[in-house]
Chain A
Amino acid sequence: MSTDTVTPLDEHRYVLNMGPQHPSTHGVLRVILEMEGEYVMNPQPVLGYGHRMHEKMAESRSWPNFLPNAARMDYLAALIYNHGYVGVIERLAGIEATPRAEYIRVITSEMNRLQSHLLWLGVLVLDLGAFTPIMYTFEDREKLIDILEDVTGSRLTYCYMRVGGVVRDIDDKFISRTREYIDWQRSRMPMYENLVTGNIIFRKRVEDIGEFTPDLARRYGLTGPCLRATGIPYDIRRAEPYSVYPEFDFDIPTETAGDCMAAYKVRFREIEQSLRILEQALDKLPDGPVMAKLPKKIKLPAGDATYTVESPRGELLYHLTADGSDVPYRMKIRVPSFSNLSVLPEICSGMLLSDLCACMGSLDLVIPEIDR
């Protein structure tokens, strides 16, 4: 626990300030590194450069008006944040979305997860010094975003889901384009296997780096692919099923090594699982309206509710306390990267500076999400 306290430096050590503007911190994260030569002895993340106090904003506006905020925390998983937010309102108010809307939510959420994982793949390898894969993953990601743009109207900070459903129905063109995309993405995966997974330099850089253990995960509340890399098959989509996820057949990839390579493999295989969910959801998509019939103005009853969804980075949780008025009394948003980043001081002490970059790339941090 002394990791947090500032101790006087001994004479061989110096302080290196990494960030808030640094290519490997993926946003305005600052890490104060106590260094001994090239070795990082004590990294201390400093947060809050992008802090916007979303939780206070939630208390000052009526609950439909908060939806655009939900998209602006994690810019890579905006639809999943949408999903969590409408989910918690529906749970508290006892509203059920229409079946078709639930399917569309799953389809768009999984597409969002895919584009997040594709970006992570490119960025991780970029952190390790290879410039080319990110261009390839952006090519794939561009196809996804184009499809999503057609139905949601935006490319990054989606505000697509509504309480009781989604705002626009998907059409046949969307479905056929998505099917084309699934085939395309499948055809690309062997290339990434060859270009990245099989690359000896890449393997040497990520193997045995940043070893997570199940116990460490419990102590820090680690969730998401980094947790599954330690061998625990914990995925909210399975553990506490929400929406229509129980209706799909998909695996939860796990690895046992717990190092960055294991986290890499887990995420890499999750891409295929997301494609499988997409395929099944498109096959099973029921007909019907996409918005439930709701009263003009929904009042949230007093009480509290939690809604947990699996974001690409782990457990995303909204905890809403309502007092019967039309603004939430308190909204707590538990973001996965917050807990995931807090392991950094423990696992990265004593590692080389280059490994720290690999480790942060493997945690897949999104800083605006942490800062909220």
Chain B
Amino acid sequence: MTFLPPELLRILVTVVCAIVIVFGNAVVMGYLERKFAGRFQRRPGPMEVGFHGILQLAVDGVKLVGKQLVIPRHADPVLYRIAPIISFAPSIMPMLVIPFSPKLQGRDFDVGLIFILAVVSLNVLAILIAGWSSNNKYSLLGAMRSVAQNVAYEIPMLLTLMSVILVTGTFSLRGIVEAQTNGIWFVFIMPVAFIIFFAATLAETNRAPFDLPEAESELTAGFMTEFSGMGFSLFFMAEYTYMFIACSLTVILFLGGWQGPPLPFAEYSSALWFFLKVYVLLILMIWIRWTFPRVRFDQLLNFCWKYLVPFALVHLMITAVVLKL
């Protein structure tokens, strides 16, 4: 391996790992979601393929890959093909900067947080393109909802982020985690910010009860109505990856990142803690989805503009004042 410059090798390994995490997470989440949904609904969930249906996702993957990609007659063929890719591709990039443990991080940017937010916001564009290019009114309605929702909820999300940044004084994700040593996680200092942030991430990732862009019972499947096969599954994987990223950010910002008491495998303890926290949050998201009905569109925006944004602003001000004192 000496013929490769070490830096290039590092980049290659990082990218491969990032892709592995993305696909691994999609599989794990797909299985967890179905199993937990089954539990909540007093049924076993997938049981047929493999032990307790553990291979179900693999089979579904094969099915989706084998399916024909149907392009509606009056759809825009180029945009229609590109939309799932635009949605999925940026979801890999945040993996490069997320600090899974002190050692396990692709690269620590000074502006890691801003990098993630910038990349993730491309997803709105993908959904808009998907909705527009399908030439279907349900898709278009879903896309319009998605844009309004994502733009609105980015504001409280960024405002709560600012509170954290004021305390830590850095945009570096590693720096933020290291600011929460000795169990003084920000969730204990700023619980309100944590709640606002988590609510906003639910809306940003289009998860129930804020899953209006999909809204099965109203818009059949929203922006994904016309997509089949891999087009659909790319959106599907992108959704799970964005959920993973959102939960990782929550963990980094509020739950002390990789920090926690040592676990049996001491060497991997910090990475284990990180994934443990992330998956607890993800399961919380699943739980919320299978419990609550969907909110209405005006309620969604009212909730954002009338409650989340003012609370986030006040919180930001209080944080600033407290810091100044």
Contacts and interface: CB of A to CB of B under 8 A. Distances in A.
In the complex, are there CB atoms of A and B closer than 8 Å?
yes
Interface of A: 14, 16, 22-24, 38, 125-132, 135-136, 139, 195, 199, 201-202, 204-205, 352-355, 357
A26 to B, nearest CB: 11
26 contacts: A16-B141, A23-B217, A38-B141, A38-B145, A125-B293, A126-B217, A129-B208, A129-B215, A131-B37, A132-B291, A136-B42, A195-B291, A201-B292, A201-B294, A202-B293, A205-B293, A205-B299, A352-B296, A352-B297, A353-B141, A353-B218, A353-B219, A354-B215, A354-B297, A355-B296, A357-B217
Interface size class of B (residues with CB under 8 A): 20 to 34
Contacts of B37: 131
Interface of B: 37, 40-43, 137-138, 141, 144-145, 208-209, 211, 215-220, 290-299
A41 B121 CA distance: 33
Contacts, number: 78
Contacts of A353: 141, 218-219
B218 A204 contact: no
Given A23-B216, A204-B299, A354-B297, A16 B290 contact: no
Contact of A14 (B137, B216, B297): B137
Contact of A128 (B40, B137, B217, B298): B217
Q: List the 6 closest pairs (A to B, CB-CB), nearest first.
A: A129-B294, A135-B41, A128-B293, A130-B293, A129-B293, A354-B296
A129 B290 contact: no
Which of B141, B218, B294 has the most chain A CB atoms closer than 10 A to its own CB? B218
A354 B220 CA distance: 12
Contacts of B297: 38, 352, 354
Nearest to B41: A135
Given A129-B209, A131-B37, A135-B43, A204 B295 contact: yes
Nearest to B138: A16
Contact of B40 (A14, A125, A132, A357): A132
B41 A205 contact: no
Contacts of B145: 38
A201 B295 contact: yes
A287 to B, nearest CB: 40
A303 to B, nearest CB: 48
A24 B217 contact: yes
A129 B42 contact: no
A23 B144 CA distance: 21
A22 B220 contact: yes
B299 A129 contact: no
A201 B293 contact: yes
Contacts of B42: 135-136, 139
Contacts of B293: 125, 128-130, 199, 201-202, 205
Contacts of B216: 23, 129
Nearest to B137: A16
B209 A131 contact: no
Contacts of A205: 293-296, 299
